[in-house]
Structure formats: structure tokens, C-alpha cells
Amino acid sequence: MDKAFLEKLLNDVAAGGRSPAEAMEMLRNLPYRDMGFANVDRHRGLRSGAAEVIFGQGKTPEQAALIMEDLASTNANVLCTRASAEMYDAVARRVPEAVYDATARMIILRRDTSRSAGAGVAVVSAGTADIPVAEEAALTAEFYGSSVDRIYDVGVAGIHRLLDRVPRIRAANAIVTVAGMEGALASVVGGLADKPVIAVPTSVGYGAGLGGIAALLAMLNSCSLGVSVMNIDNGFGAGYLAALIDGMAARPLSDGK
């Protein structure tokens, strides 16, 4: 259950549009629902400000569809990552408003389309092969209310492509860099910008890249300040953190409190 849903429910009761008994029935299953194969966390949106996100990988299409249907009943927006087209077909039968992005492998239900007042997020990818992870980050940041500037295929092998776009990168409140191979992009961007850089190593690369471990270690050993590192291929985690930073940057400081 997200805050918007609860606020609407309470306003409905106050206005007489819904009885207290009806509201109590809707709240009865908080904080979670036992579905047998999953315990759906309905309370997460109230605790942390963001509803539970479904990790599709490893779930059957029907399991993902049932979880998404349940979350959609109490949340304006629901997200499923690492989803297949078959999974989306099952979801669409239960949640027709949901849409599918095949590149990012995400199923998205977004009924609340409000935007943060922040400067937004820049998502920077080293190569075209990194775009699926970059899109997972970009769509996640947009899902959580940030505007996103996509800057793709600007890896260090042709660094002039990156340098041409430095003003756009610096304009963002948070920067996500997505790179495989040797993962150098994060360090370079960290040395050019005064904003938090969230580095995402991808599993793109030849044998010695070890499925992204080489890029991960390079990013962890970055000498640039302000670089944090996500797990391999974790575009979702980077996009969420970037949106969180963007939203915080948009809020004015409150009298030192």
C-alpha cells in the first residue's frame, strides 16, 4: 500500500464516500498477504516510500501476474524487473494497464505520473551493448519520478564523444554510468562532474572480463571521488538510488532540522 492510496482511502472515509467498516476491510490484510508461494509486502510503501518491486527472474508467468495484480490493488505504481514477454502476457490479462519494455525487460504500471522537481538523472552508457542495463536504470528512475537524460555509446575508447556531452552530464542531480569491459567510464565521469556517480558494471566483455567482475573491481578501485558501485547488471538499483538523490536534491532544507 502506498501513501497516496492510504491518503485517498482516509479522505474517502472523511468525506463519507466510504464507510469505516469498508476501510477496515481494505486494511485487514496489512502488512502482508500470504499467497502460498510468496508473502507480498503490502506495507513497504508506507515504511520506505516505495512499494515492493517484483523480481521476475525465477518466477512463473502466473506467479508474477498474481503478485502484480495484488500490488496493483493497493499501489498506484507497480514495477516488475527481469520479466519475459511470456510473463507480460500473463500480467496483461490481470493488469491491462501495465506495459512492457523488451529492452529493459520490465513490466511497468504507472498510474501516478507526477515528476520530481529536481534537475533529473543522467544515464550514461559506455557502449550499445550496455543499453539494456542502462535502460533498466533509466526506466526505474523515471518510474520513481525523475526526468532522465539518456547519453549512450560514449565509452572511453572514443572519449571525445563523452567530452562533447559533459555539460549535459553536469546538469543532472545524479549520474548513472553503465559499462562493461574494463569499466573505466565511471572513473572518467567521476573526474568530470561534481554530482554523485552511481557506477553499474555490466557482464559485457571478453573472457578476462569474467562476466563483469573485471569492471566491478575497476569501479570499486576508482580513485575518483563520489563514485558508488552497484552489483553487476543492477540497473534497477542504480536507477532507484539516482531517483532518490534527485528527489532529495529537489527538496529545500528545513531550517537546519
Residue 234: its pLDDT value, please? 98
User: What are the angstrom distances between the C-alpha of 168 and each of 94, 189, 200?
Assistant: 40, 12, 19
Average pLDDT over residues 38-53: 82
pLDDT at 26: 67
Q: Which residues of 183-200 are buried (b: 16+ CB within 10 A; e: fewer)?
A: bbbbbbbbebbebbbbbb
Q: Express each pLDDT in 4-39 by its tens digit.
A: 667 777 888 888 888 888 877 766 656 778 889 998
pLDDT at 257 over 50: no
Residue 193 pLDDT > 70: yes
Distances (CA, A) of 138 to 102, 167, 176: 14, 19, 9
pTM, to two decimals: 0.85
- For 171-190, the pLDDT digits (tens) are 999 999 999 999 999 999 99
**Nearest in space to 199 (alpha carbons), one of 249, 237, 173, 165:** 237
User: How far, CA to CA in Å, does 196 sit from each of 24, 99, 201, 255?
Assistant: 43, 31, 16, 24
Q: DSSP 3-state assignment of 176?
A: strand
What is the rounded average pLDDT of the residues 99-103?
Answer: 97
Per-residue pLDDT band for 255 (boundaries 50, 70, 90) equals: very low
What's 109's DSSP letter? E
* Owner of C-alpha cell 498474481: 66
Cell (9 digits) for 166? 559533459
Instruction: Judge whether residue 1 has pLDDT over 60.
Output: no
Show the domains of the chain with their CATH numbers.
Answer: 3-110 (no CATH), 121-250 (3.40.50.1970)
Residue 243, classified by CB atoms within 10 Å of its CB into exposed (0-12), middle (13-18) or buried (19+), is: buried
Per the document, the length of the chain is 257
List the single range of 63-67, 74-78, 156-160, 209-213 with lowest mean pLDDT: 74-78
Q: Output the pLDDT for position 77.
A: 92
Q: How far apart are CA 161 and CA 53, in angstroms?
A: 35
- Identify the residue with better confidence: 254 or 47: 47
Alpha-carbon torsion (156, 141, 44, 73), positive or negative: negative
Average pLDDT over residues 122-134: 98
Beta partners for 162?
Answer: none
The pLDDT assigned to 44 comes to 81
pLDDT classification of 95: cutoffs 50, 70, 90? very high
